[in-house]
Structure 1
Amino acid sequence: MESSFDRRTEWGLLLVRVVVGISFVLHGLSKFQMGLDQVAGWFASMGIPGFLAYAVAFVELIGGIGLILGAGTRVWAALLAVVIAVATFKVKIANGFLGGESGPGYELELLLLAMLLLLVLAKRSAFSLDHVFASKARTHK
């Protein structure tokens, strides 16, 4: 029998997963809308190989959708954690935690990273496609 704490935890994980997923879907879409060649140029100007702009846009968009649906949650969360960690260290860390005249800080990136790591470490959520597929696999054995 499931405790009310477990049920509340499930709802909390769902909320985190969906909000983080929406955030990354929008970040990925913005890269496609700006033009991936332009994003690749911006990456190159920071010393990041330009071709990674295509990979990052794909991971953000598809990974965000995966998080929203709860499909491949741990894998997508881990990939997105790498993306946000690199972005933090290459772009935001020099601005400080809260930022300043040089631009925004890394406060929000750190929050996203923590939430992604929570999703990597958490058990499979009952409110996810991961759970549905695992349940079907168990019943077909």
Structure 2
Amino acid sequence: MLKKFEVSTLIIRVVLGITFFVHGIVKFQGGIENIVGWFDSIGLPGFLAYGVATVEMIGGVALVLGLGSQIVSALLSLLMIGAIVKVKLAVGFLGNGQMAGYELDLAFLAMAIFIAINGSKMFALDQLIFKGQKEETTSLSKS
């Protein structure tokens, strides 16, 4: 049962990571200045565009690698809440013909919250990096 859970969690983590990485890359490739201008136009400080794109890009890679998955997923959850509330909520669940709705953002939010709560250990670099520390802590607590 545990193996199925970890495999499922791995799939969610990797798909979410790839998706956010691509979204972050596109923001930079498409001209981050355009995103800065768009942020300004919707009432957000333009400099936040750099932060959002960076969190998406680096956070996406971190998720795929399994580094800090819970923290990264919590940050991505905040981004999705911001996107839904500030941009997508007004156009509705399915959108308005000019802009997509918040249905996909809601799915990403649910995935990110799931990883933030449960973590994802299978094929995660965290497990290799911190394995020695966990074993050391366990052996110290047994002494």
TM-score after normalising by structure 2: 0.90
Write the mapping of 1:80-95 to structure 2, written as runs, cut at 5 A.
80-95=76-91
Q: Supply the RMSD in Å over aligned alpha carbons.
A: 1.3
How far apart in 1 are the matches of 2:6 and 2:18?
Answer: 18
The gaps in structure 2 that reach 5 residues or longer are 138-143
Instruction: Tell me, yes or no, if the aligned pair for 1:98 and 1:105 is still in contact at 8 Å.
Output: yes
Name the structure 1 match of 2:25: 29
How far apart in 1 are the matches of 2:73 and 2:34?
Answer: 26
Name the structure 2 match of 1:136: 132
Percent identical residues = 43
| Structure 1 counterpart of 2:92, from 71, 93, 96 | 96
1:105 is the counterpart of 2:101: yes
Q: Which residue identity lines up with residue 2 of structure 2 in the other structure?
A: D
For residues 69-127 of structure 1, what are the alpha-carbon distances to aligned partners after superposition, in whole Å with 9 as ceiling and x for unaligned? 11010111011111111011111111111123242110010000000000010045132
SS in 2 for 1:49: coil
TM-score after normalising by structure 1: 0.91
Q: How many residues align?
A: 137
How far apart in 2 are the matches of 1:123 and 1:98?
Answer: 30
How far apart in 1 are the matches of 2:129 and 2:40?
Answer: 40
How far apart in 2 are the matches of 1:87 and 1:29?
Answer: 17
The gaps in structure 1 that reach 5 residues or longer are none
Query: Runs of at least 4 residues of structure 1 off by over 4 A?
Result: none
Name the structure 1 match of 2:64: 68
